Amino acid sequence: MKALIVLEDGTTFWGRSFTGSGEAFGEIVFNTAMTGYQEILTDPSYRGQIVTMTYPLIGNYGINDEDNESLRIQVEAFVVREYQPFYSNWRAKRSLGEWLKAYGILGVDQVDTRALTRHIRLQGAMKAGISTQDLNPASLLERVKASPGLVGRDLVKEVTCEAPYRWKNGQIIPLEPFDPNGGPRVVVIDCGLKFNQLRLMEARGCQLLIVPAHTKAAEILSYEPDGVFFSNGPGDPAAVTYVIETAKDLLGKRPIFGICLGHQMLGQALGASTFKLKFGHRGANQPVKDLATGRIEITSQNHGFCVRPEELPKEVEISHINLNDGTLEGIRHRELPLFSVQYHPENAPGPHDSVYLFDRFLEMMHSYREGKIS
């Protein structure tokens, strides 16, 4: 089925829908990972976005039941060069096309994704629309321009959990009290978290309680956690003012670790602002330098906004930078038990170079329990 892609600047691309009739609108971005499309599609950070894969052949290993990073597909639409319906993998249960269709997500292939990616790199990420129904470029362009963008938009409210729950043995379970004799107690503020963050913390013996993004600091502290984790998520961090206020209220009261959107909101709680990157960082091959050790980490990333380092107070140390463009990738407070990173140390998909950050959080919580930090 013929599909038309129209970008906000009027550029058009033609392709073929492999999921049937449909339409989608969102910010169009590209991801440079060669594998991991299932994890990418279920990452809540992609809510409001149309994702294009730069690797040309997608779908060849199908979809399984273990690699989802949330409870549903999160992207608005999926664009690839060549879709492979005949998958081969011992864990696969269904094809990519069948899975997208079950969730009503438009999948389009036979698109010149090299040209599309180059255009986004040169002109920047922008709004776009895809349709199999409205094949008039002028008509679809008007609808694209009328659609909402990401700047100033709170998408966290669309992906956060509705009520608190526990994560145990790799599963979501009803809310229950922490075991006083168990491992470190972590309250996870769900701004659009990925399940592998929970898997990695549980593997380190942590007890996990996940709360909605709108949860106030007083309620979080009432659970008597040993640490608070701010997750990743979609949209403009400046629009999620309620989480920023919660972060301000928690500063210095418990060890804090933030990832991606969580990092951006912690940066704002500390006094800095954020800005939108031209085309963002999305992929599994972003080089990041740890300024303390000089070590280079190859990281998984997915963000379109960044914290302004020059606005951070002197009490906050820049810990990591992106080697492609020099942007801020991590901070550490010199006095308080707090650190955060812009990238995804939980991988899924991507390299495992940065998993040590979960060990750092664990050590910080043990120090808090032992009274070595307050």
My answer on whether 243 and 166 are in the same domain is yes
Rounded to 5 degrees, φ, ψ at 110 are 60, 35
CB atoms within 10 A of CB 275: 11
The one-letter amino acid at 362 = L
Single residue among 115, 146, 177 that ends a domain in this structure = 146
Closest CA to 159 of 183, 127, 124, 195: 195
Is residue 137 reached through a cis peptide bond, with omega within 30 degrees of 0 on the bond before it?
no
pLDDT in tens, 228-268: 999 999 999 999 999 999 999 999 999 999 999 999 999 99
CATH number, domain at 123?
3.50.30.20
Residue 102 lies inside a defined structural domain of this protein: yes
- Per DSSP, the residues of 134-161 read ---HHHHHHHHHHS--STT---HHHHS-
Indicate the residue among 146, 167, 183 that finishes a domain: 146
Specify the DSSP class assigned to residue 94: B
Residues 193 and 249 occupy one common structural domain: yes
Range of the structural domain that residue 86 is part of: 2-146
Write down the residue that tokens 């319906």 correspond to.
Answer: 85
| Burial of residue 249 (number of CB atoms within 10 Å: 0-12, 13-18, 19+) | middle
CA 13-17-22 angle, 5° bins: 100
Catalytic residue among 191, 206, 260, 306: 260
pLDDT for res 203: 97
96/175 same-domain check = no
| 81 and 162 in a common domain | no
Please report which confidence band the pLDDT of residue 374 belongs to, taking 50, 70 and 90 as the band edges: low
With CA atoms as reference, report the closest residue to 47 among 258, 198, 194.
194
176 forms beta bridges with: none
List pLDDT tens digits, range 261-301.
999 999 999 999 999 999 999 999 999 999 999 999 999 99
Measured distance CA(354)–CA(286) in Å, rounded: 12
The pLDDT of residue 371 is above 90 = no
Taking Cα atoms as reference points, which of 279, 13, 9, 11 lies closest to residue 131?
Answer: 13
The candidate with the shortest Cα–Cα distance to 94, out of 56, 53, 59, 118, is: 59
Q: Among this protein's residues, is 306 annotated catalytic?
A: no
Do 297 and 171 sit in the same domain of this protein? Answer: yes
- Residues 296 and 318 occupy one common structural domain: yes
Note if 346 is an active site residue: yes
- Specify the CATH number for the domain of residue 161: 3.40.50.880
Q: Which of 27, 39, 297, 346 is catalytic?
A: 346
Local confidence band at 36 (pLDDT 50, 70, 90 cut-offs): very high
Q: Compute the distance between CA of residue 195 and CA of residue 359 in angstroms, rounded to an integer.
A: 17
Q: Are both 136 and 271 inside the same structural domain? A: no
Residue 310: active-site member? no
Please identify which of the residues 263, 320, 333, 344 carries the catalytic annotation: 344
Complete DSSP assignment for 338-367: EEEESSBTT-SSS--TTTHHHHHHHHHHHH
How far is Cα 209 from Cα 172, in angstroms, rounded to an integer?
Answer: 10
Q: Which residue has the tokens 């906050």?
A: 316
Q: What does the pLDDT look like over 316-366, one tens digit per residue?
A: 999 999 999 999 999 999 999 999 999 999 999 999 999 999 999 999 999
For residue 351, what pLDDT is reported? Answer: 94
Distances (CA, A) of 51 to 29, 76, 172, 326: 5, 8, 28, 24
Pairing relationship of beta strands 106-109 and 274-290 according to DSSP bridges: unpaired
Is residue 130 located within the same domain as residue 172?
no
The helix-helix angle for 261-269 and 241-250 (nearest 10°) equals: 60
DSSP-assigned letters across all residues of 156-200: HHHHS-SS-EEEETTEEE---PPPTTSS-EEEEEESS--HHHHHH
Cβ 229 vs Cβ 315: under 8 Å:
no
Looking at the structure, tell me whether residues 98 and 188 fall in a common domain.
Answer: no
Domain limit, last residue, from 146, 176, 205:
146
